[in-house]
Structure 1
Amino acid sequence: MENVSSVTSDGSVADVRAERWQELLARLEADAPDIAKRTATKLLAEIPGYEGVDAESVRQSSIRNMALIIRVINAGTEPEAANLPEALMLADERIAQNVPLGSVLHGFRMSLGEILEHLVQLGPEYNIDPGRMLRWSTLMWAVNDAFSTRATSVYRDHEVAQAIADSVRRSEWIGKAVSQGSAMSELLWGAAMYDVPSVTPLRALAAASSDHAHAEGQIGKWAKHAGVRVLTSVQPSVIVGIVIGEPKTSVEGPGFAVGLGRAEVLSRLADSYEDASLVLKAANNLGLNSVSTAQDLSWKLAIHSNPRVSEILVQKYIEPLKESGEFAHEIVESLRAYLGNQMNIPAAARSIPVHVNTLRYRLRRFEELTGCYLEDASTIIEVSWALEVLGRDGQW
Structure 2
Amino acid sequence: MARSTPPGSNLVEEVAVIETETPAVWPDRRGLPDLAGLGPSDRAALAAAADRLRGLRDVFADRVLALLRRHVPGYAMLGPEDVRSSARRFLDLVLAELTALRVPDAALREALADFARERAARGVPAEVLTLGYQWGSRAMLALMDQAGAAVGLRPALLLAAHDSTWEFTHEAAEIFTRVQHDLALERVQFDAERRAAFAAGVLGGTLPAEHIGHDARLFGLVPQARHVALAARAANDADAEALRLAVAGALRLPADRLLLAQVGTVLGFIAPRAPDTVAGHLVAAGPALPLDRLGAGFGEAVLALETARQFAMSGVVRLAGLGPRPLVLADPLTADNLSARHLAALDGAGHSSNEIEHTTRVYLECDQDVREVARRLAVHPNTVRYRVSRFQELTDLNLRRTEDLVTSWWLLNRRRA
The alignment's TM-score, normalised by the length of structure 2, stands at: 0.69
The alpha-carbon deviation at position 326 of structure 1 amounts to 1.6
Structure 2 distance, partners of 1:225, 1:134, is 61
Aligned runs of 1:262-341 on 2, under 5 Å? 262-279=287-304, 282=307, 292-311=317-336, 313-315=338-340, 318-341=343-366
For residues 145 and 261 of structure 1, the distance between their equivalents in structure 2, rounded to whole angstroms, comes to 56
Alignment check: 8 A CA contact 2:307 2:325 kept: yes
Q: Are residues 248 and 234 of structure 1, via their aligned partners in 2, closer, same or farther at CA, if it must alter by over 3 Å?
A: closer
Please list, as runs of the form range in 1=range in 2, the aligned pairs for 1:154-169 lying within 5 A after superposition: 166=191, 169=194
Q: Distance in 2 between matches of 1:359 and 1:46?
A: 92
- Which deviates more from structure 2 when the two are superposed, residues 34-43 or residues 19-28? 19-28
Q: Which has the higher contact order (CA 8 A, sep 6+)?
A: 2
Q: Which amino acid is the alignment partner of residue 244 of structure 1? A: A
For residue 390 of structure 1, report the CA deviation from its aligned partner.
Answer: 0.5
Deviations 1:172-226 (A, max 9, x none): 43343235544444212321222233233222345678x7756744642452354
Q: CA deviation at 1:128?
A: 6.1
Q: Secondary structure at the match of 2:268?
A: strand
Residue of structure 1 equivalent to 2:261: 233
Q: Distance in 2 between matches of 1:22 and 1:362?
A: 104
Identity rate, percent: 23
Is the contact between residue 279 and residue 293 of structure 1 (CA under 8 Å) also seen in structure 2? yes
Q: Describe the SS at the equivalent of 2:135.
A: helix
The equivalent position to 1:197 in structure 2, one of 205, 222, 228, is 222
Closer, same or farther: CA 175–63 of 1 in aligned 2, 3 Å: same
Matches of 1:311 and 1:46, distance apart in 2 = 83
Query: Deviations along 1:266-320, whole A, 9 cap, x unmatched?
Result: 1222321342354456557667787643124331222333334434553566434
- Out of 247, 259, 262, the position equivalent to 1:223 is 247
- Distance in 1 (CA, whole Å) between partners of 2:394 and 2:354 is 14
| 2:273 aligned with 1:246 | yes
Residue 153 (structure 1) shift:
7.6
Q: Give the C-alpha shift of residue 94 in structure 1.
A: 1.7
Query: Would you say the 8 A contact 1:116–1:137 is kept in 2?
Result: yes
Q: 1:250 to 1:166 in 2, by over 3 A?
A: closer
Query: 1:96 offset after TM fit, Å?
Result: 3.9
Q: Distance in 2 between matches of 1:381 and 1:221?
A: 41
Q: Secondary structure at the match of 2:329?
A: coil
Tell me if structure 2 keeps the 8 A contact 1:202–1:242. Answer: no
Distance 1:342 1:44, change over 3 A: farther
Q: Which moved more, 1:212-221 or 1:93-102?
A: 212-221
Gaps of 5+ in 2: 3-40
1:124: how far off?
7.1
CA distance in 2, matches of 1:49, 1:316: 83
| AA at the equivalent of 1:246 | R
Matched, 1:176 2:201: yes
Partner letter of residue 385 of structure 1?
W
Residue type of the alignment partner of 1:233: A
In the alignment, the residues of structure 2 paired with residue 168 and residue 296 of structure 1 have an alpha-carbon distance, to the nearest angstrom, of: 34
* RMSD between aligned residues: 4.4
Give me the whole-angstrom Cα distance separating, in 1, the residues matched to 2:80 and 2:313: 64
Asked if the contact 1:196–1:244 (Cα under 8 Å) also holds between the matched residues in 2, the reply is: no
**Partner AA of 1:104 in structure 2:** L
Aligned-pair CA distance for 1:29: 4.6
Shift of 1:264: 0.5
Distance in 2, Cα, partners of 1:192 & 1:101: 31
Q: Deviations over 1:54-96 (max 9, x none)?
A: 2321222122223333444555543453676643652453244
Alignment check: 8 A CA contact 1:322 1:328 kept: yes
Counterpart contact for 1:44–1:55, Cα < 8 Å: no
SS in 1 for 2:323: helix
SS in 2 for 1:178: helix
Select which of 373, 376, 386 maps to 2:411: 386
Extract unaligned runs of 5+ from structure 1. Answer: 2-17
So what's the TM-score if we normalise by structure 1?
Answer: 0.72
Change (3 A) 1:362 1:252: farther
CA distance in 1, matches of 2:86, 2:195: 36
CA distance 1:128–1:88, change in 2 (3 Å) = same
- Give 1:67-216 correspondences, 5 Å limit: 67-74=92-99, 77-79=102-104, 81=106, 86-87=111-112, 90-116=115-141, 119=144, 130-141=155-166, 143-144=168-169, 166=191, 169-205=194-230, 213=237, 216=240
DSSP 3-state at the match of 2:226: coil
8 Å contact kept, 1:341–1:347: yes
Q: How many angstroms does 1:389 deviate by?
A: 0.6
2:259 partner SS: strand
